[in-house]
Copies of this chain bind each other. A is one copy, B any other.
Amino acid sequence: MPALYFAEAEYKARLEATKVEMQRLGADTLILSDPANIFYLTGFDAWAFYSPLFLVVSCYEDEPMWIGRFMDAVSARDTTYLREENIQAYPDSFVQSNTSHPVQPTCEILQARGLDRGAIGVEMGAYYYTARIHAEFIKHLPNARFHDAELLVNRVRLVKSVAEQAYMRQAGRIVDGAMTAAVERCAPGVRECDVVAEIYQAQISGSPEAGGVYTTSPPHFCAAERVRTPHGLWTDKPLVNNRPLNIEIAGSRLHYHCPITRTVFLGRPPDGYLRLAEAVVEGLNKTMDSIRPGIAAEEVELVWRRSIAKHGFEKEARLGYSIGLGFPPTWGERTASLRPGDKTVLRSGMAFHCMSGLWLEDTGIAITQSFLVTDSGNEPLTQFERQLITKP
C-alpha cells in the first residue's frame, strides 16, 4: 500500500475542484506537466520530471492517468492512489533520443483511451512543458483542439487545506532551525560554503518529529559584493568583517515550502545601514499588521510602498508571492503577487512570502516574513526575529 501524504478524500476534492475549472475553460481533457500539479492531484513523488512526465485528467473519468518513463512507473505505484490501469509508461529508448520523442508513445496511450480528441488543456508556460513537447502533441493529436490551461491547477492550490497548513508550519519550524544554524556559523574567516553546508544539514535533518526534503532552490547566499544581487551563489571564500550578508532559504516539508530571508552583518553596521534596516523592519511590520482576509494583494503592497517611501526608498520588484507546494526551479506558486495591479483578494488559507528586501546600488538588505492568512488576520510561519542580525 502506498504511503499517501494526504487522505484519499482530499485528493478527490482537489480533482473535483480541477474539473470545475476545466469545465469553465471548456476543456474535456487536461494534460499537466508541472510536477507540483501532478503531485497535488496524485501524490506522485520521484525525481522523474527531467524526462517528459504527464498527468492526464479527463472530465469523464474518476481518476487521472499518469504517463512517464517506464522506470519511474514503480514510483507512481509507490506514491499515488492510482489504479494500475492508470499508470502508463513509455520505453527507455525514447528518453533523450535523437530520433524519437516520448510524446509519440504518450499519444498512442491517449488514443487507446479515446483521449486524443476534443478540447485539450495544456500548461503552455509551465517549466517542463517545452516548445518541442507542444509541437509533438500538435503533430500526433490531429483531432484535438489545444487550449492554454497554464495555472489552472495552480489557482486551485491557492487556498491551503488544514493538512497543507500543518505541513507549512512544519516547514516554518525547519527553516527557523536552518537560519539559526546559519547565523551561529557565520563569522569572519569561515568559508561561505561551510555556512551553507550547515544550512543544508539543518534543512534536511529537520526536527525530531519531521524531516525535511530538498527545496526548489538552493540557498541564495550573497556575501561581499554579491550582497547587491538577490539570487547569487555562495563561494568558497572566507567571510569578511564589516559587511552585510543576505541569506534566503526555505524549509520544505514534503514539498510544502516556507521561505525566509535575513541579513547578517558581521561587525558594527554603519549608521546609514542601521537606518536602512529600521526602514525595512518598520515597513514589514506595518505590512503584516494590514494582512487580513478581504484585503487585495495590491493594497498590501501599498502599505509597504508608503512606509518605505517616507524614508526615501522605493522597490521596483514585487513585494511578495503566493507560496505552498513547490518543485524546482521556484517555490513561488506563480499565481498571486503582492504588487500594484494584482487584485487577488486574500482569503483564509492562502499563504505568501512577504519579500521585504531592498537591493540598492552598493548594498542590499532583506528581512522577510512568510505567513498564512487566517480567519481574522494572519499567522506568521516563522518565529525568527524580524531584525537585522548583527554579530559584532
CA distance A124 to B196 in the complex (A): 35
A122 to B213, CA, bound (A): 34
Known: A49-B329, A129-B131, A316-B91. A206 touches B193 (CB 8 A): yes
Q: Which residues of B contact A236 (CB under 8 A)?
A: 206, 210-211
The smallest beta-carbon distance between A109 and chain B, in angstroms, is 18
- Which of the listed residues A47, A125, A135 has the most CB atoms from chain B within 10 Å of its own CB? A47
Q: How far is the CB of A80 from chain B (nearest CB, A)?
A: 13
Question: Counting CB contacts under 8 A, is A45 at the interface?
Answer: yes
The bracket for how many chain A residues form the interface is 35 or more
Do residues B133 and A125 form an inter-chain contact, with CB atoms below 8 A?
A: yes
- Contact B131 A131, beta carbon cutoff 8 Å: yes
Task: Of the listed stretches A22-30, A56-64, A70-78, A302-310, name the one at the interface; the rest are far from the partner chain.
Answer: A70-78
- Complex-state Cα separation, A235 to B91, whole angstroms: 28
Verify B135–A231 contact, CB threshold 8 A.
Answer: no
Q: Which of A266-312 contact B (CB under 8 A)?
A: none
Which residue of chain B has its CB nearest to the CB of A91?
B316
Q: Is the C-beta of A229 less than 8 angstroms from some C-beta in chain B?
A: yes
Chain A 88-112 interface residues, beta-carbon cutoff 8 Å to B: 91-93, 95-96, 99, 101
- Considering the complex, give the chain B residue whose CB is closest to the CB of A315: B92
Q: Is A233 in contact with B47, judged by CB distance below 8 angstroms?
A: yes
User: In the complex, are the beta carbons of A47 and B218 less than 8 A apart?
Assistant: yes
Report the bound CA distance from A150 to B98 in whole Å.
Answer: 10
CB-contact partner of A130 in B48, B71, B130, B225, under 8 A: B130
A95 touches B318 (CB 8 A): yes
The answer, among B131, B201, B211, for a CB contact under 8 Å with A122, is B131
Binary interface profile of A, 201-240, with partner B (CB < 8 Å = 1, else 0)?
A: 1111110001111100110100001101111111110000
Shortest CB-to-CB span from A236 to chain B, Å, is 3
- Contact in complex: A71, B127 (CB < 8 Å): no
A-B contact pairs, 25 of them (CB 8 A): A46-B232, A46-B233, A49-B329, A50-B217, A70-B316, A71-B231, A74-B228, A74-B229, A78-B226, A78-B229, A92-B316, A99-B341, A101-B125, A125-B133, A126-B130, A127-B128, A129-B130, A131-B131, A132-B148, A193-B205, A193-B206, A196-B204, A197-B200, A197-B204, A213-B233
